[in-house]
Structure 1
Amino acid sequence: MAGRPVASRQERARAQELARRIRALREARGWTRERLAKEAGLHTRTLVRLESEGPVQPGFFTVGRLATALEVSLDDLFHGAGRPGGIWSVGYEGRDIDSFVACVREAQIDAVVDVRLTPISRKPGFSKTRLREALHGAGIDYVHLRALGNPKDNRAPFWEGRLEEGRARFRSLLVAEEAEAELTQLAGLVGTSRVAVLCFEQDARRCHRTVVLDEIRRRCAVEVTELA
């Protein structure tokens, strides 16, 4: 008996993006999976599988029922499901948590990658747990890559305008095994998702994330977009 055809990486990526889109629309309505399944006339286990795994070829009628229940067109439901990956740069300086989440959601970001060494902030909502909860509530993934954080003893050059000194020091730290592994992880995300790299400074030139972004630009041959 012939087995199921093996899905390509691109097909899996599109399915995962569709799963995120359905989850985001459901959560925006404040619905549980059970509620959406009932409204769409589907088994809850079907929706669980669709949201968590993203079947490569979901049935047309299944998708149609979900679109009807969520009161969106099929085009809206699939909006973004075939988008290429990419990378954005964002700082939360001068923002509150609500405007920040609205900004990344409007840009259709799939995942926010936090490159702070210690993801703790005096600004309400920007410490790791609260930030992750706020992003998940908007259907956006949160990833913390600690090894791509800037150590405390290399922050003064960025604050004092000695940017090349700070960048050179941080660049030398990226050869460490853990940092290299996390750069590879980030590059993989960029290949299939719309990723925003996050730190505090609004101006990326004053932040070590510029070095991270330059390295990903080199590895993935992608342009970096500043998220206003």
Structure 2
Amino acid sequence: MGYSRRSLDEVIGMLREHEVRALVDVRMWASSRFKPEFSKNRLAASLEASGIAYVYLRALGNAGKFSGAGRVVIHDPEKGFPELTELLERHRSVAIMCLERDARECHRMDVSVEMSRRLPDLEVTHLGMPEPSAQLL
């Protein structure tokens, strides 16, 4: 899910509605100048107060966005994908979060496609998208 143009209450509401147990933050930097409530410490405290675990997983951040590569470059896939797999096993219902509202414009799509390849039985839902997520993969 992307938090752009969403309030923290809206994000937490969506997570609760979909019974998400853990939010995995896949931004390269877990901070926001424009929405400080989405900075790591404040976000973690708000989620934990709502019964949702928070995990910052920089390894799955898009290093290409800031390098001028012009394409998605997952920061540390060898570390990140196994760690996300472990989080899925532990929490069962996990959401990955970055800034962009539309998953098609974010590296979350690349992460979800790779996780679907690694775990063929994984059910992926893109929260907050106007069309069915199956059409996105």
Normalised by the length of structure 2, the TM-score is 0.82
Asked if residue 181 in structure 1 is aligned to residue 79 in structure 2, the reply is yes
| 1:104 alignment partner in structure 2 | 15
Aligned 1:1-228 pairs, distance under 5 A: 90-121=1-32, 122-151=34-63, 152-154=66-68, 157=70, 166-167=71-72, 170=73, 173=74, 178-192=76-90, 193-221=92-120, 222-228=122-128
Please give the alpha-carbon distance, in whole angstroms, between the structure 2 residues aligned to 1:190 and 1:213: 12
Provide the secondary structure at the position in 2 that maps to 1:136: helix
Structure 1 residues not aligned, in runs of 5+:
1-89, 158-165
Contact 1:191 1:220 in 2 (8 A): no
Identity of counterpart residues, as a percentage?
41
Please give the alpha-carbon distance, in whole angstroms, between the structure 2 residues aligned to 1:210 and 1:154: 19
Number of residue pairs matched by the alignment = 123
Larger radius of gyration: 1
User: How far does the alpha carbon of each residue in 1:18-67 deviate from its partner, in whole angstroms, 9 at most, with x for none?
Assistant: xxxxxxxxxxxxxxxxxxxxxxxxxxxxxxxxxxxxxxxxxxxxxxxxxx
Relative to its length, the structure with more helix (as a share) is 1
State the AA in 2 paired with 1:153: S
Please give the alpha-carbon distance, in whole angstroms, between the structure 2 residues aligned to 1:138 and 1:91: 19
State the AA in 2 paired with 1:206: E
Shift of 1:154: 4.4
The structure whose RCO (Cα within 8 Å, separation 6+) is larger is: 2
CA RMSD of aligned residues (A): 1.6
Shift of 1:124: 3.4
State the AA in 2 paired with 1:182: G
User: How far does the alpha carbon of each residue in 1:72-99 deviate from its partner, in whole angstroms, 9 at most, with x for none?
Assistant: xxxxxxxxxxxxxxxxxx0001101111
User: How far does the alpha carbon of each residue in 1:90-141 deviate from its partner, in whole angstroms, 9 at most, with x for none?
Assistant: 0001101111111111211010000000011121310000000010011000
Contact 1:97 1:124 in 2 (8 A): no
Dislocated runs of 4+, deviation >3 Å: none
Structure 2 residues not aligned, in runs of 5+:
129-137
